[in-house]
Structure 1
Amino acid sequence: MDNVKIGTKASWNSIIINILLSLFKLTGAILGKSTAMLADTVHSLADIATTIVVIIGLKVSNKEADEDHPYGHEKFESVFTKIISFLLISTGLSIGYKGINDLIKGSLIVPGKIALMAALASIIVKESLYWYTIIIAKKIKSTSMEADAWHHRSDAISSIGTFIGIFFARRGFKIFDPLAAIVVCIIIVKVGVEYYLKAVNELVDHRASNEIIEQIHSITRSIHGVKEIKSLKTRIFGNKIYADVGISVDKNISIEEGHKIAETVHKNIEENLLDIKHCTVIILPN
């Protein structure tokens, strides 16, 4: 099964689970009269929207190169990651606004027991969804799916805050319910900003990690005939990496021998580093 099918199947599983969970949480929010649970429900509904974005992103970013996009479509995934980050930030701000508004207006109500049960169910389900999604995201190297996984975890964390808020509100500290909604807001916005910045790095040709660069150095130096690495440039292209390597060889060998050395470096880097989409190797003067 290819990466798109694996990611799409996982995303649809997440959508189905989120729909069922959202219905239960909405019931708990309405019957339990909890602002924090209502905010938590909105977060779960946003999860459904972001997972749909992930499905679209996976299909678009894995399309083959064409005449209009000769380098492929990988950067489209970074674009979709930015969309998810915007959804996270806007969701968080809307939740925070309602919590602050309730505090100002003094709309403080003791939540019902069903709201507490819904919060507990959300913690368990959303944390399970995080691990399920992050494992698959790492496997298929999808940044948008990884962002979606953290959306699940942010929902689990927010549900912990919701659970605490409802728990204390039911024990007479009614202010804790809207306060929990504000805490949820801060957590969600933080995650959204982090993934926005990550997507920006992928779109502006940010260099690869030190680990990848060191691996390229190691592979290149291991090739017989390479005297020195004269230059190395890398750039992140969506969820893949392009590398430009400049090497020096013995000036007394033939052009054909030099070409074979460069070709060996090129082949070994691309075969041993799966994150590398393309590696260009040139011979520079000593």
Structure 2
Amino acid sequence: MMSTATAFESEIKRQAAKRSTMVSVWVNLFLTILQIIVGIFAKSQSLVADGIHSLSDLLADFVVLAANRISHRDADDDHPYGHARIETAASLVLGMLLLAVGAGMLWSAGVKITEPESIPDVSPIALWVALFTLVSKEGLFRYMLKIAQRVKSSMLVANAWHARSDAASSLVVAMGIAGNLMGYTFLDPLAAALVGFMVMRMGGKFSWDAISDLIDRGLEEQEVQAIRETLSAIPGVRDVHDMRTRRMGDYALVDVHLLVDGRISVSEGHHIAATARRRVMEQHRTLDVLVHIDPEDDHGHATHTCALPPRDRLMTVLQEMMGQDLSARIQVQLHYLNGSIELEATLDPASARSPEERQLIEQQLVDIIDHVREIRSVRILESRLLVEREDPRDLPPPHA
């Protein structure tokens, strides 16, 4: 379940994505119309190609808006980890869209270059539109990247660099048109081809990154090490191992094993695990942390431990040896360590009616080793209640 801080951060990111994307929509809508209309009348293939590129940006913006709306929905039964990966899917759609647009540009430009007699002279107005587009796209890139870095959204970063690729392509278009105006007519379709190549390159990068995340790519080593250091600093943690991470949108899912003292209670082990989970979620961009507590290094003894007899079987042996009356007077704690079992029996002194009865209980506990070969040691402890207070949760808070 997402923490309050994470939910607040998610809402800030959603609003930032909506605001920056709407700015991009209106800028790209205006530039698309301007470039395509002027490119057709000015007979500039590269300007038309850049206009189509701007149109792909417009479609990309709508994809981002839709993904941003869906990705921030709460977790449900079908999506227990939430919908954050829709952002990754959106980045994949953006990448595939860029690949398709870039391939079309390359094909069209290649046809023109192989038929130089079909290349017309370009009108000077195309150059002014290309320069205006260049300035507009560079400004849009800087605006979007600033917001994306502030809210740490990979989807918004991808969309911002998409705008930067447009600015770079507009520069190439301006150079191609300028070359055409100076008499080198082939430079206009050549510029269109370069734009297509740049678009395909960016699309390939976005697609590969998105696919890597969708097939559970882990966090960068620096991020993993930072999480490891956070866990190692928690009191009671002796070692951190078998850590696995995977991305969920701009957040991460973490699975980790923590080695603790093998003789602490279950509740103390749970407290360490809960503390570890909370610390990681507070200090790192994580959606959920699954902590497994190990009482020993489970690489060497995991198989042997699983083969040891369970508690119910051991208690049956005890009852058969001691009888229902005596076995009910002791509390048994089992430690499954080093491939064997250590048995601790806690005896309330009041439950032993005589020294002879106590001696009988002790002897029968010792004899269990002969009946269960997996038991390595037997200890008997005395239980005496020294003091007991009311539920601490019902007490008033301490004075400052």
State the TM-score, normalizing by the size of structure 2. Answer: 0.69
**Aligned partners of 1:62, 1:202: CA distance in 2, in Å?**
18
Q: Aligned match of 2:91 in 70, 81, 86? A: 81
Which residue of structure 2 aligns with residue 264 of structure 1? 275
Q: In the alignment, which residue of structure 1 is the partner of 2:188?
A: 177
Q: Gaps (5+ residues) in structure 2?
A: 1-10, 297-400
Would the aligned equivalents of 1:229 and 1:245 in 2 still touch at CA under 8 Å? yes
The 8 Å contact of residues 263 and 295 in structure 2, kept in 1 or not, is answered as no
The amino acid across from 1:94 in the alignment is G
* Correspondences of 1:96-115 after superposition (within 5 Å): 96-106=106-116, 107-115=118-126
Paired residue type of 1:136: I
Distance across 1 between alignment mates of 2:170 and 2:124: 15
2:289 to 271, 279, 282: 279
**d(CA) in 1 for partners of 2:110, 2:25:** 30
Residue in 2 that maps onto 1:93: 103
Distance 2:87 2:147 in 1: 16
Give runs of aligned pairs for residues 1-286 of structure 1, distance below 5 A.
Answer: 2-106=12-116, 107-273=118-284, 275-286=285-296
- In 2, the alpha carbon distance for the partners of 1:17 and 1:230 equals 50
Q: What is the SS of the residue equivalent to 1:2? A: helix
SS in 2 for 1:278: strand
Summarize deviations over 1:136-195 as a string: whole Å, max 9, x none. Answer: 223333333222212211111111110111111110111100000111111100000000
- Give distance in 2, aligned partners of 1:198 and 1:173: 39
What is the rounded CA distance, in whole Å, between the counterparts of 2:149 and 2:213 in structure 1? Answer: 16
CA contact (8 A) 1:31 1:114 kept: no
Q: Contact (CA 8 Å) 2:102, 2:200: kept in 1 or not? A: yes
Tell me which protein shows more helix as a share of its residues. Answer: 1
* 1:81-112 CA-partner distances (Å, limit 9, x unpaired): 11111111111111111111111222212211
**Aligned partners of 1:22, 1:112: CA distance in 2, in Å?**
18
Larger radius of gyration: 2
Tell me the percent identity.
Answer: 31
> What letter is aligned with 2:61?
T
Higher relative contact order (CA 8 A, sep 6+): 1
Contact 1:88 1:151 in 2 (8 A): no
What is the alpha-carbon distance in structure 2 between the residues aligned to residue 104 and residue 50 of structure 1? 32
Alignment partners' CA distance in 2, 1:214 and 1:67: 33
Between the aligned partners of 1:230 and 1:37, the Cα distance in structure 2 is: 56
CA distance in 1, matches of 2:232, 2:33: 58
Shift of residue 238, structure 1, vs aligned partner = 2.3
Alignment check: 8 A CA contact 2:232 2:240 kept: yes
- Aligned-partner Cα distance in 1 for 2:218–2:168: 32
Across the aligned residues of Structure 1 and Structure 2, the Cα RMSD in angstroms comes to 1.4
Output the CA distance in 1 between the equivalents of 2:92 and 2:129: 30
Deviates more, 1:230-239 or 1:190-199: 230-239
- Structure 1, unmatched stretches of 5+, are none
Number of paired residues?
285
1:223 counterpart SS class: coil
Contact 1:29 1:35 in 2 (8 A): yes
